[in-house]
């Protein structure tokens, strides 16, 4: 379905709201109208004195380079150029931007999965090492128990023999 110019303009306004904040829309519209010659100076100062910044729509009235373009001017130029594009071309541009963002997000997710995989692989290797150590300890413990059982049996045998010899010598 082909998108209309209004759809594209709404995408730009959404972009402006996300980047500069919703409160910057009015300031952008005033700056855009001034650049197009539709509005005179504002209460904040003349066009030469007023320059919007990326800091959420704040302005400075102390003046700046008269050749510098404000964020609003740049976005206004984008709106004007997008309105001159045919709707299909603009839709393709928006789709390309979305694909780039999706690719970037996919890359971030993949990086996170790789980092998690490395972490869990390290944990798995540590668990295997501990498991081997536990097996070694179990084997050593079983060997010690068998030796202890033999020693106890031998000691009982010696005690039994001594008791018999003692009983035999008493009689």
Q: Quick one: pLDDT band at residue 162, thresholds 50, 70, 90?
A: very high
Residue 157 pLDDT: 95
The pLDDT confidence band at residue 144, using thresholds 50, 70 and 90, is very high
Entry pTM: 0.32
Cα 37 to Cα 8, 30, 41, 101, 143: the distances in Å are 24, 10, 10, 36, 96
pLDDT band at residue 94 under the 50/70/90 scheme: confident
Q: What is the mean pLDDT of residues 83-103?
A: 74
Work out the number of other CB atoms within 10 angstroms of the CB of residue 169. Answer: 7
What proportion of the chain, given as a percentage, has pLDDT over 70?
56
Task: Report the alpha-carbon distance of residue 106 to residue 113 in Å, rounded.
Answer: 10
Higher pLDDT, 142 or 86: 142
Decide: helix, strand or coil at residue 5: helix
What is the DSSP secondary-structure string of 26-87? HHHHHHHHHHTTSS--BTTB-TTT-EE-TTTS-EESS---TTPPPHHHHHHHHHHHHHHS-H
Mean pLDDT throughout 103-121? 89
């Amino acid at each position: 379905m082909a998108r209309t110019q209004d759809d594209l303009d709404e995408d730009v306004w959404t972009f402006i709201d996300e980047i500069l904040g919703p409160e910057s829309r009015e300031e952008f519209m005033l700056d855009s109208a001034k650049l197009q010659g539709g509005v005179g100076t504002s209460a904040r100062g003349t066009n030469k004195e007023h320059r919007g910044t990326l800091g959420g729509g704040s302005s400075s009235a102390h003046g700046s380079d008269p050749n510098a373009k404000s964020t609003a001017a740049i976005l206004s130029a984008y709106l004007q150029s997008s309105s001159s594009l045919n709707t299909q071309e603009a839709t393709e541009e928006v789709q390309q931007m979305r694909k780039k963002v999706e690719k970037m997000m996919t890359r971030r997710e993949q990086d996170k999965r790789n980092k998690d995989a490395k972490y869990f692989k390290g944990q798995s290797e540590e668990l295997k090492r501990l498991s081997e150590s536990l097996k070694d300890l179990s084997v050593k413990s079983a060997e010690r128990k068998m030796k202890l059982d033999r020693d106890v049996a031998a000691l009982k045998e010696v005690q039994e023999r001594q008791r018999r010899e003692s009983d035999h010598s008493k009689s």
